[in-house]
Amino acid sequence: MRLIFKTLLTPRIFLILSCLFWAAMVRAELVIEVTRGNDQLTSLAVAPFAWEGKRVLPEDLAAIIDNDLKLSGLFQAIPRTSMLSYPTSESEVYYRDWKALGAAYLVTGQVSFNDNAYHINYQLYDVIRGTRIAKGGFTGKQNQLREIAHRVSDAVYEKITGLPGDFSSRILYVTAQRYDSERTEYQLNYADADGKRSRTIFTSNEPIMSPSWSPDGKRVTYVSFERQRPEIYLQELATGTRRKLTGFKGLNSSPIWSPDGQSIAMVLSKDGNPDVYILDLATRKISNITNHYAIDTEPDWMPDGRSLIYTSNRGGSPQIYQQDITRKSGGEFIPQGNPRRLTFEGRFNARAKVFPDGKSLALVHKGQGAADYNIAILDLDTDRLRLLSSSRLEDSPSIAPGGRRLIYSSQGGKNGELGIVSADGRVKQRLPSAQGDVREPAWGPGTRLK
């Protein structure tokens, strides 16, 4: 992160220094470890789901839900081996047995297969009060069973905590497999929020950076150096079809989708210094949003699409600014008024991402006299800044759809890894790769069940 304003001016140096972040061979799938949870965990039991089919159920839905809720850092799961029964209906739930096990909540479910589809029903019981408090159902194909389990986890989590769950969302990240000093293979991957079902989107012998999800979760953009210079690409996940969006001389970097999915903000240096631009996907018109001799980079959209935030060193050090914009007919965007500086605390604030409610920013912060770059949250109403993490070098924060958690990259140990932290800082997780570095995370939406 601290290299941004040096490397933006020279693409070749940008490429060389970027390669230094990568280490030895990696595997794409991630393993999530809870490193710090809530002080008081709620005890919860997820009984095995009843299955009416003749063959073995392809996925253990109860185990997936159990794992999701444990990874939230708020729940302590009762193991199956300790359960006195596996209820398949409300009449089979004996609250005294679950109270004896210390369970505060119980989840049960049923799975059936007919009309060429799986039908999943679930129930949530409040053991202390002795009553069912929620139920629901989903229908999907075999390859959607894990996703359905995550959606059940979302529903259970929200009913108990009052907060939206994000277990059915997905994450983008980049890994690198280094064969020798001359060759490193880079992969852009996406996976479920629990790190499972990892799939590779694109592979290259040159760096891949700045991945970004479309709002509908069907497309991604990213920066690729496959032709020895940074270019921005758009790729369809379902078909793998990809097309180059920009390949101007100089920088083409930091693509980020607009909230309505119709435009992409990015950084280009085609007219001299790096500035923020917006590309309208329908008309292909590119609008210049910032025009300053300083370096303007790393844009993100406010939820209403009426302004952008970005990093600029126009004040002497990297800080966050906000620029209002308006969209005219024909896909043209026009800046409105002067940019407003948002950050004042610390000598370095960059890579800002906007929370879904538009009230806060997640960013990379370096305090006065501090040696570390850490993830922090800035409250836009009070200007209060809170540190969330404490590794040596942290970068690339990205916010889960509900605003409850953040994912970021960390260079605190031997290898780069990803970290997840709750927005209140109480729950922390690490997602190391098996054999090397993993970086550039982007938290995105899930897919829609048909």
Flag whether 139 is in a domain: yes
224 and 268 housed in the same domain = yes
Domains in the chain, number: 2
Q: What is the pLDDT of residue 413?
A: 61
Final residue of a structural domain among 121, 140, 161? 161
214 and 88 housed in the same domain = no
Flag whether 217 is in a domain: yes
415 and 438 housed in the same domain = yes
Flag whether 343 is in a domain: yes
130 and 151 housed in the same domain = yes
221 and 192 housed in the same domain = yes
Nearest to 40 by CA among 79, 67, 74: 74
Q: Which segments of 207-260 are extended strands (E)? A: 208-213, 219-224, 231-236, 242-246, 252-257
126 and 180 housed in the same domain = no
Q: For 401-427, how does the pLDDT look when each residue is reduced to its tens digit (9 = 90+)?
A: 989 999 999 875 667 789 999 998 888
Flag whether 36 is in a domain: no
Q: What is the pLDDT of residue 46?
A: 98
Question: Which structural domain range is residue 356 located in?
Answer: 4-30+170-444
Question: Residues in the chain with pLDDT < 50?
Answer: 1-27
Partner residues linked to 28 by β-bridges: none
Final residue of a structural domain among 144, 161, 178? 161
140 and 230 housed in the same domain = no
372 and 420 housed in the same domain = yes
Final residue of a structural domain among 109, 131, 161? 161
Flag whether 211 is in a domain: yes
155 and 292 housed in the same domain = no
Flag whether 449 is in a domain: no
Flag whether 35 is in a domain: no
156 and 184 housed in the same domain = no
Q: CB under 8 Å to 416, separation ≥6 — which residues?
A: 21, 22, 23, 409, 410, 437, 438, 439
318 and 414 housed in the same domain = yes
Domain containing 137 — which CATH number?
3.40.50.10070
Q: For 339-384, how does the pLDDT look when each residue is reduced to its tens digit (9 = 90+)?
A: 999 999 999 999 999 999 999 999 999 988 777 899 999 999 999 9
**What pTM was estimated for this model as a whole?**
0.89
Flag whether 61 is in a domain: yes
225 and 264 housed in the same domain = yes
Domain containing 234 — which CATH number?
2.120.10.30
DSSP letters spanning 19-51: HTT--S---S----EEEE--SSPEEEEEPPPEE
